[in-house]
Amino acid sequence: MASLEEKILSLRQTLNDYNYQYHVLDQPTVPDAEYDRLMQELRTLEEQHPELVTSDSPTQRIGGAPLEGFKKVEHHVPMLSLANAFDKQDLLDFDRRVRDGLGVDQVDYVCELKIDGLAVSLRYQDGLFVQGATRGDGTTGEDITQNLRTIRSIPLKITDQSTIEVRGEAFMPQRSFLALNEARETRQEEPFANPRNAAAGSLRQLDPQIAAERHLDIFIYAVGEWQTGSLTTHSERLNYLRELGFKINPEWRQCTSIDQVIDFVESWVDRRADLSYDIDGIVIKVDRLDYQNQLKTTAKSPRWAIAYKFPAEEAVTKLKDVILSVGRTGAVTPTALLEPVKVAGTTVQRASLHNEDFIKEKDIRINDTVVIKKAGDIIPEVVRVIPEQRQGDEVLYRMPDHCPACGAELVRLEEEVALRCINPSCHAQLMEGLIHFVSRQAMNIDGLGEKVVAQLYEHKLVQDVADLYQLDRSELLKLERMGEKSVDNLLEAIDASKQNSLERLLFGLGIRFVGAKAAKTLAIAFDDMDKLKQATLDDLMAVNEIGHKMADSVVRYFQDEKVLKLMNRLKELGINMRYLGAKPEAASEASAFYNKTVVLTGKLEQLTRQEAKERIEALGGKVTGSVSKKTDILIAGAEAGSKLTKAEQLEITIWSEQQLVEALNQ
622 catalytic, yes or no? Answer: no
* Residue among 251, 260, 252 at smallest CA distance from 95: 260
Measure the CA–CA gap between 462 and 454, rounded to whole angstroms.
9
Phi, psi of 285 (to 5 degrees): -130, 145
25-40 burial: b if 16+ Cβ within 10 Å, else e: eeeeeeeeeebeebbe
- The active-site residue, picked from 72, 114, 373, 478, is 114
Q: In whole angstroms, give the CA distance from residue 446 to residue 493.
A: 6
Q: Which amino acid is at 621?
A: G
Residue 301 near residue 80 (C-beta atoms within 8 A) = yes
Report which residue type is found at 230: S
Residue among 152, 126, 157, 132 nearest 57 (CA): 157
What one-character DSSP code corresponds to residue 24? I
Q: Half-sphere exposure (CA, 13 Å, Cβ side) for 139?
A: 10
Whole-Å CA distances, 517 to 295, 535, 552:
21, 19, 17
Q: Which amino acid is at 90?
A: D
The SS3 of residue 288 is strand
Q: DSSP 3-state assignment of 623? A: strand
88-102 helix and 258-271 helix, angle to the nearest 10 degrees: 150
Residue 93 CA: distances (Å) to CA of 90, 375, 592: 5, 21, 40
Alpha-carbon span 570 to 442, nearest angstrom: 15
Alpha-carbon Rg for the chain, nearest whole angstrom, is 28
SS3 for 238-276, per residue? HHHHHHCCCCCCCCCEEECCHHHHHHHHHHHHHHHHHCC
Q: What is the C-alpha separation between 456 and 461, in angstroms, rounded?
A: 5
Report which of 316, 356, 351, 346 is spatially closest to residue 336, judged by C-alpha positions. 351
The answer to whether 168 touches 248, Cβ cutoff 8 Å, is no
Give the separation between CA 242 and CA 250, rounded to whole angstroms.
10
In three state form, how does the secondary structure of 206-242 look?
A: CCHHHHHHCCCEEEEEEECCCCCCCCCEHHHHHHHHH
Write the Ramachandran bin of 183: left for phi over 0, alpha for psi from -120 to 50, otherwise beta: alpha
Helices 174-186 and 195-203: crossing angle in degrees, nearest 10, is 80
The whole-angstrom separation of Cα 123 and Cα 226 is: 10
Indicate which residues carry an active-site annotation. Answer: 114
